[in-house]
Amino acid sequence: MKLQELETACSKSGLKMTGPRKTILKVLVEAEDHPSVDEIYARVKAVDPSVSMATVYRTVNTLDELNLVTKHEFKEGFARFETNTDHHHHMIDVDSGDVIEFTNVELEALKEKIAEELGYELIDHNLELYGRKIKD
């Protein structure tokens, strides 16, 4: 979601667009790496040192409740957030913590097929792959 769209969605949901919130949204939209709350806080603080951790924490959780960000738990003991709402999956590098996004047409078809075989209409799915980089 683009910054403008996100701001509009927030306002519609009754979330007032204060300065700190705008900064938090901008950091989220510009992030390409699925940042944790700590990482979001560090980036927000670099722009506006007056924003507190509590504000970042509360805002991110409110955005999650409003379904304006997606929260991920990648078995790391902390949550990561993203604003990319296009359907995609994640490969998590267990050594570096890097998160690589991917899509796969064959996978989508296969999941539809599996659901159908089980007698279900597929509503949603979520795939996380955990891997270690092959060294050459």
| Cβ-based nearer residue to Zn ion, 7 or 82 | 82
- Bridge partners (DSSP) of residue 72 are 80
Instruction: Compute the distance between CA of residue 29 and CA of residue 64 in angstroms, rounded to an integer.
Output: 14
Nearest in space to 74 (alpha carbons), one of 96, 53, 56: 96
**Smallest distance from Zn ion to CB 54, Å:** 26
Q: Are 78 and 90 in contact (CB under 8 A)?
A: no
Which residue lies nearer to Zn ion by CB, 88 or 133? Answer: 88
Q: How far is the CB of 124 from Zn ion (least distance, A)?
A: 15
Shortest distance, CB of residue 100 to Zn ion, whole angstroms?
9
Residues that bind Zn ion (CB under 5 A): 82, 84, 101
Nearer residue to Zn ion within complex by CB, 45 or 89: 89
Whose tokens are 């701001």? That residue is 7
